Structure 1
Amino acid sequence: MTDLETRTAGRPAARGPSGALRRAAPALLGYTAVRALGLLALVLWSAARDKSAYTLLTARWDSLWYTRVAELGYGYEVRLPNGDVHSNLAFFPLLPWLERLGAAVTPLSYADAGFVVSLLASLAAAWGIFAVADHAYGHRAGVCAALLWAVLPVGIVQSMAYSESLFTALAAWSLYAVLTGRWVTAGALAALAGLTRPVGLAVTAAVWVAVVAAFARSRGEDGTEGAPGVRHVLGMLLAPLGAAGYVLWVGHRTGTGPLGYLDVQAGWRNGFDGGAAFARFVGAKFTSFPAALAGVGLIVGVALLVWLYVVCVRRRQPLPLLVYAGVVVVLALCASSYFGSKPRLLLPAFPLLFPPAVALARLRTAGATTLVCAVAAASAAYGAFWLNGSGPP
């Protein structure tokens, strides 16, 4: 029995889907209320500025690229005056596939289907986050974790026709499957996550590390791997298939070799440089006083992320969660372009919310409720302001 299993062995388990839903109901209801508040704030703010909130959610920025893939398939590109080529091959296919399916079986447009997929996926993500935190830290912490994910400053992205909610749902349930020993399910969900966003690598890494650790424990306990080893290996083999399959297909389509996807990303001036470009971006903020305040805020934000991760390590968060969150954070911060998108790229790093969720769970119900309501109101106002301003690129 693992350390995590030892800590949770005495907790009552929800029996069947209906029991699991009843257990998750407080988290899902709270999450729905927070996101409804965010959408209401967006509608009111947009109306005051004579804008369409629905257009901001479904027909701007990346959502347009996803609907073009759903409608036209791959091959669409935009050539900029400076020579850069923005190709829709940069966008992974699962969300467009679901948009196309939704438009085929319902009267919805591709954009409408994308919005519905994101709303449903956000609920699935909140449930998955609750399930992981509940399994590791208890029911109350699970509810708080789902609520904290809802009240993040850029939480409005969870309701947009973007892929963050879909990816987070698949990642969370894959990690839950890992923690509960469902290796084939974990691998299959990791493969789907890999078809959703490039950061699917983080889910694959978590599955692989968990499998290696499971084999190590098995050999240490009785010197044999036993029958479960087949399921371990199958899960491990399934995990990278989604991302690897798409990347290899892009390389074949473009004729640029197995890593041709990197050339596609280079056309967007995006890549992995270890954080050098982001450091220069932050440093440039200190050339004038007003911008220096933003620079200080960015440094504080990065320091907070590092501190939260250190807390997770010190509190012995399960290894798959540490690996997953660590890879998500590194890939988000070390990308060489689109600095304004980094907050939303960090949305899937939900294990970092578990230490504050545990702390929040220790408060009295009235105090915790007041705090969450206050932060939810601030998050709703910020999300409305942000989306009506620069918004997510």
Structure 2
Amino acid sequence: MGTGKRGLIAAAVTVVCAVTVLAAPGTAFADPGPTPPPAATPSPAATAPDKDLEAVRDKLDKLYRAAAVATDEYNAAEEEARRQSAELAELARKIAEGQEELNRLKNRAGAAARAQYRTGGLPDEAKLVLSDDPRQFLDGTGRVLQGQRATKGLIAETNRAQQDLKTYAADASARWKGLEANRKAKEAAQKEIEKQIAAAEKLESELEREERERLERLEREAAQRAQTAWLGSGVLKGAAGEASGQGGKAVEFATAQVGKPYQWGAEGPGAYDCSGLTSQAWASAGLAIPRTSQQQWKQLRHVDVGDMRPGDLIIYFPDASHVGMYVGDGKVVHAPRPGRAITVAGAGSMPILGVVRPDAT
């Protein structure tokens, strides 16, 4: 337990229980009766002021936010690695095809060389000059021209095939280096995620049960205050947009996941992180969107908060590290953080960066 909590415990147990009575000789005393039980020592949780728990809550928020940022980095690296792996597979296919083509061209060149050897090694031009038959001479002229064109074409095709192979090999090397860089980025992000979550879990584990309950109550109260202030600002006044066909399907999918756990990097079906939930919800509606909340913010069309309709995505915090799906009536479905389940919450319970619409035309 931290120094602050030990101080609270010390302050809570400063109770004086001894009473000294000085009596004059011969003075009579009444029977004091049974000794009253000592006053119960208040538990540390009962004495910890809310302001200290608010500091704990603030620290937890920062730790889980840092984990969320690292999760976005992990997801982005994973998504890029998938893309590069697919490109590598396509390049490997092209290299194999290019090698087959080059082998075919080499076989053609070899066949031509063998044919020339069987005819005495004389080139077509020499045989043409030695011909005594005018008709054969004319026919031979056409064959020579055709042969020259075919030879040039063969050489050009061979050079092109060789150049293609060099290009594919260079591209494959670059993609491989990128893939390796993304693997290292994923590992670094994973370590950061695990570090931040471990620190948060350690901090929570040091709290007494009563403190954890009060901490959760403070979280709920803070979220409710933020939601009330957000709605009170009139931001949704007059907003009554209906979900599109795809948006309705996305909302149906997302709300069906309520109660499933948050898990960083997860895209279902048993668990999700915040952007895993929103991207899979829209995938179920037939529309592929970026995997991470930051890319969703960058790539999807922005709309005004007052023009939101169910299915739109609300991006939270200045670094776009969290996302939820608007479901109407001022509420959002989202995967909050490690240790929490997918839930429906007030859309204004967190700082809103903006709103994006996946199916904007």
- The structure with more strand, counted as a fraction of residues: 2
TM-score (norm 2): 0.23
* Structure with higher RCO (Cα < 8 A, 6+ apart): 1
Larger radius of gyration: 2
Higher percent of residues as helix = 1
TM-score, normalised via structure 1 length? 0.22
